[in-house]
Structure 1
Amino acid sequence: WRVEKQRLSWDVLDSFADAAEQAGIEKIDDFNGGDNAGVGYFDVNQRSGWRWSSSKAFLRPARGRPNLTIWTEAQAQKLSWSTADNGQPRCTGLSLSRAGQTVQVTANREVILSAGAINSPQILQLSGIGPADLLRSHGIEVIRDAPVGENLQDHLQIRAVFKVNGTQTLNTLANSLFGRLKIGAEYLLNRSGPMSMSPSQLGAFTRSDPARPHANLEYHVQPLSLEAFGEDLHDFPAITVSVCNLNPTSRGQVQISSANFQDPPKIMPNYLSTAEDRQVAADSLRQARKIMAQPAMQVYAPEELKPGVQHQSDEELARLAGDIANTIFHPVGTVKMGQMDDPSAVLDPHLRVKGVQGLRVVDASVMPTITSGNTNAPTLMIAEKAAAWIKEGL
């Protein structure tokens, strides 16, 4: 796994860091030193300016091993079952769709499900592990009645946008031919600049109010703006000050929509469904305004485009937070691990599905509570722990 410093900087982001410090958020060089409170550039998973994915880090070096077969363009349909000597259901493999054909795969020891916080519960429910009423409503035999798909948690990214003046952002660079050529040349020659950047460059962790025991807000500050993901950048210089509640109390669900594995599941995140989450949303937008009002940012004469300065009350800000927000792609918790006597836990402390044999889940769905930061590295840690347990026969 690779963790490197970013190969870029932006004057406007440097100024935001100065403004955050003026607002009481200490500058920090490393968010992974034990207390992530502070403001600074994120470290990135890159190798010399190239994205370094888990596939490159772990799967690519293992290719060619005699005990590894990789199938792409294959989709799991459902798990297969037999009855163990003690009468418990035992997972013996799965059926999958590959090249238009259904293929049956068997496992001598165990099946490891790593389809993520959305698809792992979908596959389990299709296979008979999930809320009994839900499964029966789709004509699926109940192997085990379990709260699969419950406890969905995510970090909701509230995307406040500020127009700026007298500085360069990606909006202005990418919207001109010269700017695009400059971006391409910088990456081609040095593997640096905007083409090497992660979606968010500058980060900050802080409290939404002083009574919080630790930082419960995370800012992802981006030198760009757009109406929504997938749309074009604005044609004026602007930055996006995204902020998320790291410890949301809202809980959602993932449920199959039919017994057909090709039908997408219903994802119901229930964002901002608690009074606490709505208050934190309002407080976080006010804090973003506080930072932008500091002298270091006032040199750019910032103009708040979203949510808009005319909105001031808690109720207005909480409602508009939902209007300008989207997932930050951190869903977790839908196949919760826990103690054996915890009725809300689907898995035991070693990530084995309770009440059945031969089945383990290893992905972000196992987290009982979402982490107070990005979920990628913690999920890799879960995988390393699980790998060790499997080798030890636990």
Structure 2
Amino acid sequence: MADAAPDADSFDYVIVGSGAAGSVLANRLSADPGVTVCMLEAGPPDRNPWIHVPAGFVKTLKDPSVTWQFRTEPTANTGGRRIPTIQGRTLGGGSSVNGMIYNRGQPADLDSWAQRGNRGWGYADCLPYYRRSENRIGLCDETRGQNEGAIPVTDMDWIHPISEAFIAGCVGLGIPRARDYNCGDQAGVGYYQRTIRNGRRISAAVAFLKPAMTRKNLEVRTNARASRILFEGKRAVGIRYLGARDAAPREVRARREVILSAGTVNTARLMQVSGVGPADLLARLGVEVVHELPVGLNFRDHYASRFVMRAKPGVDTLNELSRGLKLGAQIARWATGRPNILATTPSHVHVFWKSFEGLDQPDLQCVFTPGSYAEGKVYILDDYPGVTCGAWQHRPESTGWVRARSTDVFEDPEINPNYLSDPMDVRVHLAGMRLVRRMLNTPELGRYLERETLPGPQVQSDDELLDFAKRNASTTYHLIGTCRMGPATDPSTVVNDRLLVHGMEGLRIVDASIMPSMPSANTYATTLMIAEKAADFIRGREIAEHAA
């Protein structure tokens, strides 16, 4: 598998993928002028203007030129639907097309990773790396990285009266108003923090990769789709990649390490087509087994159901503000740096709360937006004023898989999160739906809202709610776990606690695929942390960091 192409060239490190993790690694590793780094990105440069305007999220999400348009397998728990499971495919990866939410999760998430035998992955160990990547602009304490990192984390500046009424209604239900959900105490309701500054999205590419690209020891190759990891025995020595389906393959060699940061789906698929994965799958693919590991298993995602309420006549929501003259006024505000809808996140208000009394920590995340979306159409606004509130289970127990269908990396892999296959997930999901309905029917919101349109007041019983969830719930694009971190004695794991692939040499994985379990959060902030920590592993600086 290691036969060299005529135009092969070599670097110390070859990074596959320029997303959140890859951008951090490229910056940190190339800071050492004594090493050379090559980054391969399957997509184009991030020149699409919609990437950089926060409201452009709805444009890029369906644009195959900057996203992988993956879809899940149809199952009974998705009503036979194939759910779009879109991932970033441009410089910055998911950070260039995501919802721009910054959410670390709960300290217990990371402590549970350490309890699985992952040394140095407890909350206290990881906190310095969260701080290192962020520049918190606003209220913060010693847990936050103020003026430390490259990613700005700002507060919502465009506030809608309906959002204020929603928060007040939640407080009336006994949910406290949160001070800072990223400081270690997550429970409560409030506005999301986001990676937006001066009206523009600040992706990992903008924050980390672009400054590093001025260095002579970093080479970034776009439109370079990795097709194989090259091995000599058990050692990874490079990457074969393609510019287009019919283009001649090229190779780039790694003197020290090949680092996979291609994301939960693509990292697993690349490992499998290269001969590292379950033996039965590799046999079906006709791929020689280099090393047998459970690559592609332990796959998890958040599965969200949403409710829509119609607003009373005369109440302006995002639906009206996104059209005609009112949109023109918002564009003018964006151009002059005033608060506006173009510089907001798709989700405005968070609620972290508990599905059942007696829980120590929240197990639900709810999102509220002062706008309503058409049934079955992701981020397409209704033609009437309304609001949307959705909920998902923080830490789903249901696990699925990612499997390559063939050795052709232009063919989408089989993706099955196996949503709602665990009975606990069903119970928590139903509790979340009932909580959403309570939050949307408070007296505080009653002055603005008229009636529920989705799923509608006729849907009441557990069976009816569950049927609605199966037919309408969707992904939150928080894909994790296909190359799980843990000790080699655990047969469910792929990498060790230094993110090196078990039984291999020169091969490391640094992205959300290594997460042993789902954080109680969106995955972006934790992926940045993982990359910061991995950079120290590679540079041999972690011990010095903790000693300081």
Q: Which bracket does the TM-score occupy, shorter chain normalised?
A: over 0.9
**Residue in structure 1 matching 2:498, options 350, 354, 358:** 350
* 2:463 is aligned with 1:318: no
* 2:243 is aligned with 1:95: no
Closer/same/farther in 2, CA of residues 337 and 168 from structure 1, 3 Å limit: same
User: Corresponding residue for 1:36?
Assistant: 186
Matches within 5 A, 1:1-394: 1-83=151-233, 89-98=234-243, 100-165=247-312, 166-175=314-323, 177-227=324-374, 228-229=376-377, 232-392=380-540
Whether the 8 Å CA contact 2:275–2:287 is kept in 1: the answer is: yes
Q: Give the CA deviation at 1:64.
A: 2.1
Q: Deviations over 1:38-68 (max 9, x none)?
A: 1111111012121010001110110121210
> Aligned to 2:493, what secondary structure does the other structure show?
coil
Whether the 8 Å CA contact 1:7–1:49 is kept in 2: the answer is: no
Closer/same/farther in 2, CA of residues 27 and 393 from structure 1, 3 Å limit: closer
Q: Deviations over 1:344-386 (max 9, x none)?
A: 0100111000011010000000000010011100000000000
Distance 2:520 2:387 in 1: 24
Distance 1:101 1:204 in 2: 51
Closer/same/farther in 2, CA of residues 97 and 37 from structure 1, 3 Å limit: same
Whether the 8 Å CA contact 2:194–2:345 is kept in 1: the answer is: yes
The 10-residue stretch of structure 1 (99-108 or 61-70) with the greater mean CA deviation from structure 2: 99-108
> Aligned to 2:287, what secondary structure does the other structure show?
coil
1:98 maps to amino acid: G
Closer/same/farther in 2, CA of residues 75 and 191 from structure 1, 3 Å limit: farther
Identity in percent: 37
Distance 1:189 1:323 in 2: 43
Q: Deviations over 1:303-331 (max 9, x none)?
A: 11112221111122122122221111100
Q: Give the CA deviation at 1:199.
A: 1.3
1:337 maps to amino acid: M
2:239 maps to amino acid: L
1:51 maps to amino acid: R
2:177 maps to amino acid: K
Gaps of 5+ in 1: 84-88
Distance 1:214 1:315 in 2: 27
Root-mean-square deviation (Å): 1.4
Whether the 8 Å CA contact 2:273–2:285 is kept in 1: the answer is: no
Q: Could you list the runs of 4 or more consecutive aligned residues of structure 1 that deviate by over 3 angstroms after TM superposition? A: 228-232
Whether the 8 Å CA contact 1:131–1:148 is kept in 2: the answer is: yes
The 10-residue stretch of structure 1 (1-10 or 70-79) with the greater mean CA deviation from structure 2: 1-10
Whether the 8 Å CA contact 1:39–1:204 is kept in 2: the answer is: yes
2:242 maps to amino acid: S
Closer/same/farther in 2, CA of residues 206 and 237 from structure 1, 3 Å limit: same
Distance 1:278 1:66 in 2: 53
The 10-residue stretch of structure 1 (330-339 or 180-189) with the greater mean CA deviation from structure 2: 180-189
1:331 maps to amino acid: L
Q: Give the CA deviation at 1:120.
A: 0.5
User: Corresponding residue for 1:86?
Assistant: none
Distance 1:107 1:369 in 2: 30
Q: Deviations over 1:77-124 (max 9, x none)?
A: 0100102xxxxx100001000262310111100100000011000000
Whether the 8 Å CA contact 1:150–1:335 is kept in 2: the answer is: yes
Q: Deviations over 1:5-57 (max 9, x none)?
A: 12201111111001111111101131112111111111110121210100011
Report the count of equivalent residues. Answer: 388
The 10-residue stretch of structure 1 (106-115 or 178-187) with the greater mean CA deviation from structure 2: 178-187
Q: Give the CA deviation at 1:70.
A: 0.3
2:506 maps to amino acid: G
Distance 2:303 2:370 in 1: 20
Whether the 8 Å CA contact 2:309–2:449 is kept in 1: the answer is: no
Q: Give the CA deviation at 1:167.
A: 2.4
Whether the 8 Å CA contact 1:292–1:302 is kept in 2: the answer is: no
Distance 1:316 1:153 in 2: 25
Whether the 8 Å CA contact 2:297–2:400 is kept in 1: the answer is: yes
Whether the 8 Å CA contact 1:170–1:237 is kept in 2: the answer is: yes
Q: Give the CA deviation at 1:301.
A: 3.5
Q: Give the CA deviation at 1:191.
A: 4.7
Distance 1:24 1:132 in 2: 52
Q: Give the CA deviation at 1:262.
A: 1.1
Distance 1:167 1:207 in 2: 31
Closer/same/farther in 2, CA of residues 320 and 134 from structure 1, 3 Å limit: same
Q: Give the CA deviation at 1:231.
A: 6.2
Q: Give the CA deviation at 1:214.
A: 0.7
TM, length-normalised to structure 2: 0.69
Distance 1:265 1:229 in 2: 24
Distance 1:192 1:128 in 2: 51
Q: Give the CA deviation at 1:211.
A: 2.8
